[in-house]
Structure 1
Amino acid sequence: MRRNLAALVLFCATAAVFAIVGADDPYRFFNWNVTYGDIYPLGVRQQGILINGQFPGPDIHSVTNDNLIINVFNSLDEPFLISWAGIQQRRNSFEDGVFGTTCPIPPGKNFTYILQVKDQIGSFYYFPSLGFHKAAGGFGGIRILSRPRIPVPFPDPAGDYTVLIGDWYKANHTDLKAQLDGGHKLPFPDGILINGRGSGGASFNVEQGKTYRLRICNVGLQNSLNFRIQNHKMQLVEVEGTHTLQTTYSSLDVHLGQCSSVLVTADQPAKDYYIVASSRFTAPQVLTTTAVLRYSNSAGSASGPLPGGPTIQVDWSLNQARSIRTNLTASGPRPNPQGSYHYGMINTTRTIRIANSAGQVNGKQRYAANSVSFVAPDTPMKIADYFKISGVFRVGSISDNPTGGGIYLDTSVMQADYRAFIEIVFQNDEDIIQSWHLDGYAFFVVGMDGGQWTPASRNEYNLRDAVFRCTTQVYPNSWTAIYMALDNVGMWNIRSEHWARQYLGQQFYLRVYTASTSLRDEYPIPKNAILCGRASGRSTRPL
């Protein structure tokens, strides 16, 4: 009976939007059941979040412009949401899967996400966005392949692997959440996982002489990680949907929330080799874990010392980040060079400066952007906006510039004009590395350096081949600048990927607004949308 009901719900949801999404583009259907289950990633039993019994969850394989129909049953005993890191939800922030835009799926209920990977390629991931669920699993890889007629700037690899790396705690996510709710910081993590397993647990099979693609995503909670393979080089070819200059590295820093694709050729004597992920900028405590690169004709187990990582110095990582550039001659999701969009020749109309900070509010630990520590309202802001429900949020509740004042609580929403071209500067005056993500968008990382940003810093910008991505790191006591075209109407989450900081307020929402009601600018609220808070009981039929 439940399967028949699920099929009916899925059919109705699909039919409801068939006229909106691209009817000529392929559909891919997924049925997911989200449950709790026992997992043992670091050798102790924990309560993990499983999708169809899997930890990590199943990969999503798709092609540019595919319509993804993902029916999610919440079999947990609490509300649940999945968000899609890097999937831009063109004109459709209602499907973004964060609380500012989407009502949670109640226990025992389902929701069908209807997404289109419009004009996108590349490597991304999904994750649970509510509470501290991310510390229990529920994440998995997303790959968007180019359409067959679009040339890719490297030969088809012999294999294509998702590699999810991230720091991990032995404590259940409920205990970690209780620490944060009690106003405390999180302790140092207990280990690092590769594809949900601790040291030596994951392996990747290769054949001698062949080349493989590894899609590496840092899905962790707190730490940047360095990734390397014993006796093997890695050729970087893509980051979050952008083909890059094919630079060769012996190790690669992957910061929180980021994804990178590398090509690895099995060109060494046939045996097993260590794959290593280790924490960055955490000395004297450094976490290290291993997986195995296993040759099909292996003559022996992995042995010898682990390949060494980079030094603790920030300059090494900063220089590597600057070396990651867009391949201007490669086609992206459309049959034209990626460099055909000359972002460096467009004048910005607004500069937004965002500074992260930590402090106490009412005796409890909080984190902030421009002194505002975000507090979720009782109704998702996007839904309140659609139904014109007053009192849920206030546009302009966060400043365009750091205030220099103490941290305070508010539901922070910043207004921005549709089709503007803007500059955002992330200023990090703390001694930690920070990582920022923008839902609904990718952006050009035009500059980063130590110290304070000033208008003169623009003289250092890369205005020709800066990498185009959706998550950027900001080094300790440093700044990072991005350019972004506001071409996607909606309410979009801008957040720290340091998950305890995000949970305790280091996020806000960008309301990209137009008075137009055309479907060319924004889709209406989905007919299957769950309504909650002050929107409960309303109709999703057109207003």
Structure 2
Amino acid sequence: MRNVVVEVLLLISMVLLELSNAFAPSVSYEWVVSYSQRSVLGANKQIIVINDMFPGPILSATAGDIVNVNIFNHLTEPFLMTWNGLQMRKNSWQDGVRGTNCPILPGTNWTYRFQIKDQIGSYFYFPTLLLQKAAGGYGSIRVYSPELVQVPFPHPDGEFDILIGDWFYTDHRVMRASLDNGLSLATPDGILINGRGPEETFFAFQPGKTYRLRISNVGLKTSLNFRIQDHDMLLVETEGSYVQKHTYSSLDIHVGQSYSVLVTAKTDPVGIYRSYYIFASARFTNFYLSGIALIRYPNSPLDPVGPVPAAPEPWDYASSVQQALSIREDLDVGAARPNPQGSYHYGRVNVTRTLIFQNDVMTSSNKLRYTVNGVSFVFPETPLKLVDHFQLKNTIVPDMFPTYPSNKTPSFGTSVVDIRYKDFVHIVFENPLDELQSWHIDGYNFFVVGMGFGGWSESKRAGYNLVDAVSRSTIQVYPYSWVAILIAMDNQGMWNVRSQKAEQWYLGQELYLRVKGDGQEDPSNIPVQDECPIPENFIRCGRILQ
């Protein structure tokens, strides 16, 4: 009897969902993904373009919109696209990672369809398979507030999307083969700003105008410091959260992170203007690389003059941590809804579970691999989302993955953590290594409540920020450090948790959160009734064949 009731409720929810979607505005895109031979940083390389553009076109939508993106794969390899930071409310079918989707095969197309709910902000998209991100295929995402929701700063006079990231001359297939052979990625060959080398990108400023810069680090491995010559930046938003407004002369932007800043153009009483440098330089590395773009005013000389904005001390982690802790939620404003962001008092919610994820390194047959809690992720032949939906056996092993660091010998496994829907979870990311880490959780934003050097212990909870911690989807963990987050598991589905650093992700540093069920039900034993129904156009592969 209970199963009948569940099925009826599921049917009703599906009908209501379809009715609400029927009246929602929609935006549609048609993207052709193909190769193109281009000169980047002075070297010819086969890159991945979208509609012959590198970076790809801006995906622009308003909260509440239904987004349709029809992707035609003209590559010689399978392809998937993910939407870094978009929450895909109750629709992990559209997540575009290997654990949720079968790939779009060469010569075919597939349409992503999802609704952007209760979310605004600056994000980016990128390819997730076969290290293709090293060849491009990425672009910016803008999500605007609905008309009835006031933006907590004056409407800017213009907007610019700025994609910064490290770049390699080597073909992505050669880089992939190097990783497959157990070798680490080499030093990057340069830093790109909007897909171009030094001083090849410029932004036109008008005197006295205010511009919103949406900046994302789309690189593979390198944290970057972003700064503008003789211009301050007013930070207003990060990954969908409006933040307390502070002025910065430079910002550390780690792999996978996005920020919005306001920059006010200069005025001169006699109308004499010059050009200015924009810098994105490598941070916390043994090498120095920088990407350079230009701000140009009307009739200004092409070449900037004056002192170049100084880079921070290369290994000054303390100041970077201080800056990270200074970025806090603006509790008095709304984002996608009129109610203020501070109306959700996360610090008063009882934590139902604590998970500790520790990144590390292992070797197997003299080949480099990366782990989370001693497990290096391996993919089954069928995406986990399809395994779960069709209740396939012998793929997801309950309790295989330890949710705390252990002293067991490192191993391979398909790591899935079962989470009950609506649990409120405390996650600690521990980094015992000498290299900065960057973590991302698909489908969610989380509150960054604690950060510190050394190991984490229960005593650290006393110092948590339980009032105005920033909410975001990607967080850096400094060497020999920890970060604590709180996350409301209110988005049912199969969600990817990964290192945003391409080498670590490719070589096993990820896991999946299976969020479903309610009350005391065990998510591993109930039928799939999460989110939207399986798409009619879903792609079959592995054990789910045509």
In the superposition, the TM-score normalised over structure 2's length comes to 0.93
Q: Report the AA paired with residue 459 of structure 1.
A: A
User: Is it true that 1:231 corresponds to 2:230 in the alignment?
Assistant: yes
Kept in 2, the 8 Å contact 1:232–1:268? The answer is: no
Partner residue in 2 for 1:255: 254
The answer as to 2:533 corresponding to 1:509 is: no
* Partner residue, 1:104: 103
Aligned counterparts, 1:279-358, within 5 A:
279-283=282-286, 285-299=287-301, 301-311=303-313, 312-358=315-361
Q: Give the conservation status (yes or no) of the 8 Å contact 2:389–2:527.
A: no
- Which residue in the other structure is 1:4 paired with? none
In structure 2, the residue matched to 1:529 is: 538
Matches within 5 A, 1:95-244: 95-244=94-243
**3-state SS of 1:424 partner:** strand
Task: State the SS of the aligned residue for 1:244.
Answer: strand
Q: Distance in 2 between matches of 1:88 and 1:37?
A: 31
For residue 299 of structure 1, report the CA deviation from its aligned partner: 4.6
> For each residue in 1:348-387, what CA deviation from the matched residue of structure 2 results, as whole angstroms up to 9, or x when unmatched?
0111000000121121000010010001110000111101
- Out of 461, 478, 482, the residue aligned to residue 479 of structure 1 is 482
- Which residue is 2:412 aligned to? 409
Question: Counterpart of 1:522 in structure 2: which amino acid?
Answer: E
Q: In structure 1, what is the Cα distance between the partners aligned to 2:528 and 2:80?
A: 28
Which structure 2 residues correspond to residues 418-437 of structure 1 after superposition, within 5 A? 418-437=421-440
Q: Give 1:541's aligned residue.
A: none
Residue identity in the other structure for 2:188: P
Assess if the C-alpha contact under 8 Å between 1:35 and 1:76 holds in 2. Answer: yes
Aligned to 1:373: 376
Give 5+ residue unaligned stretches, structure 2.
Answer: 1-14, 518-522
Deviation at 1:20, TM superposition (A): 6.4
| 1:76 aligned onto 2:75 | yes
1:448 partnered with 2:451: yes
Q: Deviations over 1:303-362 (max 9, x none)?
A: 233201211210010000000000111111001111000000111011100000012112
Structure 1 contact 34–49 (Cα < 8 Å) conserved: yes
Tell me by how many angstroms 1:131 deviates: 1.2
SS in 1 for 2:543: helix
1:85 match: 84
Partner of 1:266 in structure 2?
Answer: 265
Contact 1:378 1:392 in 2 (8 A): no
The letter of the residue matching 2:85 is: G
Distance in 1 (CA, whole Å) between partners of 2:240 and 2:89 is: 15
Query: What is the Cα deviation at residue 482 of structure 1?
Result: 0.2
Distance between the aligned counterparts of 1:453 and 1:374, measured in 2? 24
> Could you say which residue in structure 1 is the equivalent of 2:37?
38
Structure 2 distance, partners of 1:268, 1:336, is 37
Q: Distance in 1 between matches of 2:323 and 2:140?
A: 24
Q: Deviations over 1:486-531 (max 9, x none)?
A: 0011110000001110000000111112167797x41111000001
Deviation at 1:409, TM superposition (A): 0.9
Q: Which runs of 4+ in 1 moved over 6 A?
A: 515-519
CA distance in structure 2 between the partners assigned to 1:365 and 1:57 by the alignment: 32
Is the Cα contact below 8 Å between 1:369 and 1:506 reproduced in 2?
yes
Between the aligned partners of 1:256 and 1:142, the Cα distance in structure 2 is: 16
Report the Cα offset of residue 485 of structure 1: 0.3
**Judging changes above 3 Å, is the alpha-carbon distance between structure 1 residues 361 and 138 closer, same or farther for their aligned structure 2 residues?**
same
Deviation of residue 396 (structure 1)? 2.3
* Kept in 2: contact 1:86–1:124 (CA 8 A): yes
Q: Which amino acid aligns with 1:394?
A: V
Q: Structure 1: where are the runs of 5+ without partners?
A: 1-15, 538-543
2:21 is matched with: 22
CA distance in 2, matches of 1:273, 1:49: 31
| Alignment match, 1:390 | 393
1:283-317 per-position Cα deviation (integer Å, ceiling 9, x unaligned): 3x111120001112425521233201211210010
Q: Distance in 2 between matches of 1:195 and 1:437?
A: 22
Give the match's secondary structure for 2:93: helix
Q: Give the letter aligned to residue 272 of structure 1.
A: S
Question: Alpha-carbon deviation of 1:252?
Answer: 0.3
Equivalent-residue separation in structure 2 for 1:59 and 1:397 (angstroms): 41
Alpha-carbon distance in structure 2 between the residues aligned to 1:214 and 1:37: 28
Cα distance in 1 for partners of 2:209, 2:527 equals: 52
Provide the TM-score with structure 1 as the length reference: 0.94
2:412 aligns to what SS in structure 1? strand
Q: 1:501 to 1:56 in 2, by over 3 A?
A: same
Tell me the SS of whatever aligns to 1:463: coil
Deviation digits for residues 405-456 of structure 1, max 9, x if unmatched?
A: 3321111111111100010000001001100000010000001010010010
Secondary structure at the residue paired with 1:384? Answer: helix
1:180-213 deviation per Cα after TM superposition (whole angstroms, max 9, x unaligned): 0111111111110000011111111110111100
Cα distance in 1 for partners of 2:20, 2:29 equals 17
Change (3 A) 1:332 1:517: farther
Does 1:488 find its partner at 2:491?
yes
Structure 2 counterpart SS, 1:45: strand
- Is 1:277 matched with 2:280? yes
- Amino acid paired to 1:167: D
Amino acid at match of 1:291: A
How many residue pairs are counted as aligned between the two chains?
520
Aligned to 1:13: none
